Structure 1
Amino acid sequence: MAGYQDLLRTPGVARMIAAQLTARFPNGMSSLAILLHVEQQTGSYGAAGLVLAATSVGQAVAGPVTSRWMGAWGMRRVLTLTLSVCVVAVLCLALLPLSLPGYMALGLIAGLSTPPVQSAVRTIYPKLVNAKQLTPLFSLDASLQEIIWILAPVVITLVSTQVGTTQGLLLVAVFLVGGGSWFILSPEVGRVRIPRSRSALGKVVLKPPVLMATMIGFLLIGACSAVEVGVVATFEHGSLEAGLVLAVFAVGSLAGGLSFGHIPIGPWAMARRLTIVTVGLALTMVSLNVFWLGGTLILAGIGIAPALAVLFAITTASVKFSETAEAFGWAGTGQLIGAAAGSAVAGFLVDATDARGAYFAAVLFAALGLVVSIVFVRALPDLRHRDASPYPDTEPLAVTPS
């Protein structure tokens, strides 16, 4: 923990972490808020699912594109534009009487205009710390983002069920404006300029480490989404238990990230972390007892944030600085598609069998990720004797005052 304290004392680091977590807090609220609101307005969970699907498609398509725009137009311009459009779309979802096609259209717009905060902040990180601190910083970031998935669903559920679904969406808009403005106005966002990428859109994802990060992220997040379906199906008549078990899963990830963030990243680092995840998830199928599930998911969670930290590090270390934002955009798209695939596969298996089907899906996704990390281990960079900083661009980087 002393290392993390030194890291947080580095100028700008604590502010950047706090601002980006606040700006990304709506990511943990919006899906549930939209689901509850559209279901209430239409009386159909199927309709709500279609709106969520449209939103997810928009996010998946926009991720690499808006991230790349930041190199062409500047981070603040792109973040301000996307934030403004996203807030208007959310407000319209909350306040306008709409038919299903209208809800889907606005959901798509909200997804397309989701501010690329994650790509922006992970592009800024290498400019805030020295080379030795970058890997621990990625681990700290991956760990602390679990706070979003612990608190945000609880907050939005309480507001939407106890006050109203319209107020729930309005709260999402408030967090978008407040958190997004804090992040955009942070001095670091103004100081760091991403050079315009010279390569074609999508070329960066063909680099083996970036492709690996995208594929493994798809499988890892797919496993996590399947777990969420399994927990909800297990405690269908006990939402308190479901919430507590999912919170324990996130706490395990938080603890794992903080505990292992200082360990150097070699080619086999991903396989070791995914082994922990796979073993923990496999043990969930032994019993659906709340205490057993809590214990096994703590074990599985211990590998989640460390695995994500490896994904961030190998992505950054394998591209030019001008390509980092787009590379993280593709990684984010892979994770979004993984979340949708994991939920869908788990849902079908639950319908065909019981809640164990969802845990089986989670094991399958995690095991596939482990196999990929082993079979293609040579595609993963060895960062034990080098830092995770991106390669410099040949053109000089312009630094503008905030």
Structure 2
Amino acid sequence: MMGAQLVARFPNGMISLAILLHVERQTGSYGAAGLVLAAASVGQAIAGPVTSRWMGAWGMRRVLTLTLSVCVIAVLSLALLPLAVPGYMTLALLAGLATPPVQSAVRTIYPKLVNAGQLTPLFSLDASLQEIIWIVAPVVITVVSTQVGTVYGLLLVAVILVGGGAWFILSPQVGQVRIPRSRRAFGRVVMKPPVLLATVVGFLLIGACSAVEVGVVATFGHGGLEAGLVLAVFAVGSLGGGLAFGHRLIGPWAMARRLLIVTVGLSLTMVSLNVFWIGGTLVLAGIGIAPALAVLFAITTASVKFSETAEAFGWAGTGQLIGAAAGSAVAGILIDQSGPSGAYLAGVVFAIAGLLVAVAFVRFFPDLRHRDPAPYPDTEPITTALP
């Protein structure tokens, strides 16, 4: 299951760079490329909680198959059709709307695969291993797009979408785990404080990472492998941090401590644009990312009923995707105005805001040091006749 979902989500680490490089190559503007990338992220943000909730009504396989088919068609159209910026934005929005909700599906399945005591280590392992996507995927898509062509980069994304999506959809667990219909109205689950915090903090954390990603591409350009390698180093730091610290017990201050590491690392990127300095500072920032994501997963699961987990993760994913849209758009505009350093500044501002939220609302973070992050069972009181 973990292998299948990693391959199915592998295009997530490729598509942003693929779209960014393709649209910038076609239009000559990072601002235009940022807007197209933002359209894709907004589409994903809108669809996340909706398609995740559909899985409880229609079943995982039906929803995953439908969304996968539409997404592949949209990505192929982006690659092959000659378009102006509005056309690119429309297709990117469609691709985002049809992104298969693999992340929500697998994190809903996890509590059914292990006992409650193993759930926190599993979330930490998942958050760490997903960094393999961010280590390998940027290098692969940078090599293909810069050395072969941006059209071929998008075609590669489509091929992996089909292969990885099919593997995940056909996994036995996807057919065996049935998500009960939620009895709550759509959107009610996001009003629970831990879910809302996971959504807001995810928005700011991923916004910071997205702005830095655009900044790295703008700093090192299309002429070599530096951009992909620096982003891979960023992910290596996150992988190392997740494996070393992500399994630790989660208290109310866990998120603030982990975001402090990210904020310090990103702040140091402002000192120099030298490739070795940027790489070193992003390793430091990366150490806090996977552990912070593990906190987001755990507090989300621990705060909802099983029937609400998919929608809750959909909303958390929406926060992250809107953050990616905002980070990409702001970074692209600042690059056009003041160069790559503007993108790193945007990343620092997003990270500081996330840290301030984690500190200001620390009392709303659940203390999971003495309880398991398993979702609440879907039970309700019944009336019995006393003898």
Q: Same fold (TM over 0.5)?
A: yes
Look up the SS of the partner of 2:273 in the other structure.
coil
1:133 alignment partner AA: Q
1:82-231 superposed matches below 5 A: 82-98=67-83, 101-231=86-216
Name the residue aligned to 1:266.
Answer: 251
For the aligned residues, what is the CA RMSD?
2.4
Q: Does 1:25 align with 2:13?
A: no
User: How much does 1:224 deviate?
Assistant: 1.1
Q: Which runs of 5+ in 1 are unaligned?
A: 1-15, 397-402
Cα drift, residue 183 of structure 1: 0.4
Shift of the 159–249 alpha-carbon distance from structure 1 to 2, 3 Å rule, reads closer
Q: Tell me what 1:377 maps to.
A: 362
Partner of 1:244 in structure 2? 229
CA distance in 2, matches of 1:295, 1:99: 38
| Structure-to-structure mapping, 1:334-349, within 5 angstroms | 334-349=319-334
1:225 and 1:111 mapped to 2: Cα distance? 16
Could you list the per-position Cα deviations for residues 286-341 of structure 1 after superposition, in whole angstroms to 9, with x for gaps in the alignment?
33333333222211111010000000000010011111111111111111111222
State the secondary structure of the residue aligned to 1:286: coil
Structure 2 CA distance for aligned equivalents of residues 68 and 144 of structure 1: 26
Residue 358 of structure 1 is aligned with which of 324, 343, 351? 343
Query: Residue 39 of structure 2 contacts residue 325 of structure 2 at CA under 8 Å; is this kept in 1?
Result: no
- 2:297 aligns with one of 303, 308, 312: 312
Give the TM-score of the pair, scaled to structure 2: 0.91
Provide the identity percentage: 84
State the partner residue of 1:391: 376
- 1:10 matched residue in structure 2: none
Describe the shift of the 1:102–1:370 C-alpha distance in structure 2 as closer, same or farther (beyond 3 A).
closer
Q: CA separation in 1, counterparts of 2:373 and 2:28?
A: 50
Cα distance in 1 between the residues matched to 2:174 and 2:372: 23
Task: State the distance in 2 between where 1:223 and 1:247 align.
Answer: 16
CA distance in 2 between counterparts of 1:62 and 1:178 reads 22
For residue 64 of structure 1, the aligned residue among 22, 25, 49 is: 49
| Alpha-carbon distance change, 345 to 97 in structure 1, aligned in 2, over 3 angstroms | closer
Q: For residues 80 and 347 of structure 1, do their structure 2 counterparts lie closer, same or farther at Cα, with a shift above 3 Å needed?
A: closer
Per the alignment, in what secondary structure is the counterpart of residue 120 of structure 1? helix
Equivalent position amino acid for 1:78 in 2:
V
Query: Which stretch has the larger CA shift, 44-53 or 212-221?
Result: 44-53
Query: What does the per-residue CA deviation read over 1:123-156, in whole Å, with 9 as the maximum and x for residues that have no partner?
Result: 0111111112111111111111111122222222
Once the 2 structures are TM-superposed, how far is the Cα of residue 46 of structure 1 from its aligned partner?
5.7
Corresponding residue for 2:279? 294
Runs ≥4 in structure 1, deviation > 6 angstroms? none
For this pair of structures, how many residues does the alignment match?
A: 381
Contact 1:232–1:239 under 8 Å retained in 2: no
Which piece of structure 1 moves more, 111-120 or 53-62? Answer: 53-62
In the TM superposition, what whole-angstrom CA distance separates every residue of 1:316-371 from its partner, at most 9, and x where no partner exists?
10011111111111111111111222233334444554544333322221121111
Q: Is the 8 A contact 1:87 1:176 kept in 2?
A: yes
Question: Aligned match of 2:316 in 317, 331, 335?
Answer: 331
- SS of match in other structure, 2:183: coil
**TM-score, structure 1 normalization:** 0.87
Q: Return closer, same or farther for 1:347/1:171 CA change in 2, 3 Å cut-off.
A: closer
8 A contact 1:219–1:366 mirrored in 2: yes
